[in-house]
Amino acid sequence: MGKDKTVAFIDIGSNSIHLLVVKFFPGTTGMPIFHDKEMVRLGQSLYKDGRIDRSTIEKCQLVTKSFMQIANSLGADEIISFATCAAREAPNRSELLKAIRSDDHQVNVISGEEEARLINLGVTGGKGVGKRTIFIDIGGGSTEISISQGREILYLDSLAMGSVRYAYSFPFDQGGPISESEYGSYQREVLLHSYRSAKAVRDIGFERAVGSSGTMMALADMCAVRRGDGDASYFTLSELKSLMEDLRRTDAHAKTSFPGLSPGRIDIITPGGAIAEELMYIFGIERIEVSELGLKEGMYVDYLLEQGMGDIDEKESSVLALAKRCGYDKVHADCVTKNSIAMFDGLRDAGVHSMDDRWRDRLRYASILHDIGEIFGFSKHRIYSYMLVKSAGLPGMAIEDIDAIALMARFHYKKMPRPTNGMLSIFDKKDLGSMMMSLVILRYADVMDRSRTCPVDSLSFTDDGKNVEMTVCSKEGIDMVMWRLDEMKEEFRIAFGRNIMLNLRLHSG
């Protein structure tokens, strides 16, 4: 960086909202100058009643606005905000995002795998680890698992278990003692949701275990007091078993006497501890170190890497990795990508649309991945492509990017969806329009390589406000392509509000 720069990172979690402000000086990796957090409990009403209630949304809005004001008062040039599990899962996610977003505050809802990757970066500092290490972060709504060796991340997963989720989705009174059978219900739920990670952990192996999050730190603090040495940098499975046996037997009032347990965690410490205990048992962890670092620090490290301290484009890398794993047709994918970007840029230059580069990137990634479902056969490949993109996580991507890419893959072939299609209801009005336009572009680009010979050399566009003229320059006769594009004129008109006229210009090789 050539000059001083201040960047604020906001982590909107299921339990708490964190703010980290970092000052970057030329020739340095920056210095944290401010940190604050507020417990908002986005997940409490979500996991209790099935949606985030209005009062919680208003509190979240108040806290994020306050954190933005603090960041601005500290001279922030940029504010980066990520929301995690509660925002991912809430059926009224759009209501939450509408409340906390503004023209100068964009919030990305990230996938569980991306959350796990960022936590891993935060705990390791992006510098890697000498020994093969498993990382466990028990959040309010989800638990993130990763395994690293050196700077390579060998495994990522996000499990649907968390301290707030378990406290409010189970019909147990957190104000009173938790019976042995109720505690066993937590443990059985952990076992049910961790089978995939358990197998991966056994197959990959580890030499060291590290835990993070407020739950892990609280457990470490209490174990340190009971041990008598005050060392809260670790705890053992036997220490945790003893602690949890005492915690679950006490009511909320009695828990206030446990040194190291803050009042704000009294109602969620028992389910959170049950998750930690069962995962340590399942994974075979006898001793776990505890880190105070986590997602917000991972956002910081990721920012550094994006500023040139790493030579890997995480987003493109994850897209290409998925494509290669699925044995994609690289020649066709490259051709469709070339066509779609030429069409996107040409239409934008002609003034037909004003979509930004975020949608350009989404279209590019969807062009690479649109046919990966062919690994399971052609007849329903568009559906399989959608499922593969959604389930892969795509580290580096926001959840909204993944949604858009997956849906483009889903509808790139056969019938064009109507804007009222339920699968598109996750988009607000503006993004729905961009989604429809991007989808039409991908469909056109795919048809242009119908012969799998990449016959289209270039595209050019003119626009008079009512009609778009697209000239297709090709090295060979493509009558079937032009017929199909002509049949798709109505799709273009609905998406772009223009009629499209097609011209073919042939040239010799």
Task: Give the tens place of pLDDT for each residue, 401-457.
Answer: 989 999 999 999 989 999 999 889 888 888 999 999 999 999 999 999 988 899 999
Q: In which residue ranges of the chain is CATH 3.30.420.40 found?
A: 5-110
How far does Cα 286 stand from its chain's mean position? 31
Q: How far apart are CA 451 and CA 193, in angstroms?
A: 45
Q: How far apart are CA 82 and CA 86, in angstroms?
A: 12
**Residues 395 and 378 sit within 8 Å (Cβ to Cβ):** no
Could you tell me where the beta strands, DSSP code E, fall in 222-371? Answer: 234-236, 287-291
Average pLDDT of span 299-307:
84
Of the two residues 312 and 197, the one the predictor is more confident about is 197
**Residues 417 and 424 sit within 8 Å (Cβ to Cβ):** yes
Sign of CA dihedral 123, 144, 134, 263: positive
Q: Give me the pLDDT at residue 395, please.
A: 63
Percent of the chain's residues with pLDDT above 70: 96
- For tokens 């569980």, the residue is 112
Average pLDDT of span 212-240:
92
Mean pLDDT in the chain?
91
The residue type at 134: I
Phi-psi region of 452 (alpha: psi -120 to 50; beta: other; left: phi over 0): left
Q: How far apart are CA 495 and CA 420, in angstroms?
A: 13
Q: Give me the pLDDT at residue 32, please.
A: 79
Any idea which of 6-20, 125-139, 236-250, 490-504 has the lowest mean pLDDT? 125-139
**Angle, nearest 10°, between helix axes 381-392 and 314-325?**
130
Q: In which residue ranges of the chain is CATH 3.30.420.150 found?
A: 113-294
Maximum mean pLDDT: which of 189-193, 290-294, 421-425? 189-193
Average pLDDT of span 467-473:
95
110: DSSP letter: B
**Residues 234 and 289 sit within 8 Å (Cβ to Cβ):** yes
Residue 160, Cβ neighbours under 10 Å: how many? 16
Domain 314-506 -> CATH class: mainly alpha
234: DSSP letter: E
Q: Give me the pLDDT at residue 105, please.
A: 86
The answer on pLDDT for 309 being more than 70 is no
The answer on pLDDT for 24 being more than 90 is no
pLDDT in tens, 91-130: 999 999 999 988 888 899 999 999 999 999 888 877 778 8
Sign of CA dihedral 186, 189, 191, 197: negative
Q: Give me the pLDDT at residue 509, please.
A: 57
For the record, the structure tokens of 125 come out as 């500092």
Q: Which residues contact 82 (CB under 8 A, 6 or more apart)?
A: 10, 11, 12, 107, 108, 109, 110, 115, 118, 295, 299, 398
Q: Give me the pLDDT at residue 393, please.
A: 64
Domain 113-294 -> CATH class: alpha beta
Average pLDDT of span 27-53:
87
**Residues 433 and 355 sit within 8 Å (Cβ to Cβ):** no
State which H helix or E strand residue 205 sits in: none
**pLDDT band at residue 378, thresholds of 50, 70 and 90?**
confident
Q: Which residues contact 364 (CB under 8 A, 6 or more apart)?
A: 337, 340, 341
Average pLDDT of span 5-23:
92
Q: Give me the pLDDT at residue 342, please.
A: 96
Average pLDDT of span 8-23:
92
The answer on pLDDT for 310 being more than 70 is no
Maximum mean pLDDT: which of 181-190, 305-314, 320-329? 181-190
Any idea which of 305-309, 316-320, 392-396 has the lowest mean pLDDT? 392-396
The answer on pLDDT for 26 being more than 90 is no
Q: Which residues contact 102 (CB under 8 A, 6 or more apart)?
A: none
The answer on pLDDT for 365 being more than 90 is yes
The answer on pLDDT for 2 being more than 60 is no
CA distances for 336 relative to 329, 339, 366, 477, angstroms: 11, 5, 10, 18
**pLDDT band at residue 276, thresholds of 50, 70 and 90?**
very high
**pLDDT band at residue 27, thresholds of 50, 70 and 90?**
low
Q: How far apart are CA 310 and CA 121, in angstroms?
A: 13
Average pLDDT of span 2-24:
88
Q: In which residue ranges of the chain is CATH 1.10.3210.10 found?
A: 314-506
Alpha helices in 9-53 (DSSP H): 42-49
Q: Give me the pLDDT at residue 469, please.
A: 96
Q: Give me the pLDDT at residue 126, please.
A: 75
Q: How far apart are CA 463 and CA 470, in angstroms?
A: 9
Q: Give me the pLDDT at residue 322, please.
A: 83
336: DSSP letter: H
Q: In what order do the strands lie in the sheet with 456-463?
A: 456-463, 467-474, 499-506
Tell me, which fold does domain 5-110 have in CATH? Answer: Nucleotidyltransferase; domain 5 (3.30.420)
The residue type at 108: N
**pLDDT band at residue 23, thresholds of 50, 70 and 90?**
confident
Q: Which residues contact 202 (CB under 8 A, 6 or more apart)?
A: none
Query: Residue-wise over 101-118: b if at least 16 C-beta within 10 A, else e?
Result: eeeeeebbbbbbbbbbbb
Q: How far apart are CA 16 and CA 12, in angstroms?
A: 7
Query: Residue-wise over 45-59: b if at least 16 C-beta within 10 A, else e?
Result: bbbeeebbeeebbeb
394: DSSP letter: -
- For tokens 């009511």, the residue is 251
The answer on pLDDT for 285 being more than 80 is yes
Average pLDDT of span 363-375:
95
Sign of CA dihedral 60, 63, 66, 68: negative
**pLDDT band at residue 297, thresholds of 50, 70 and 90?**
confident
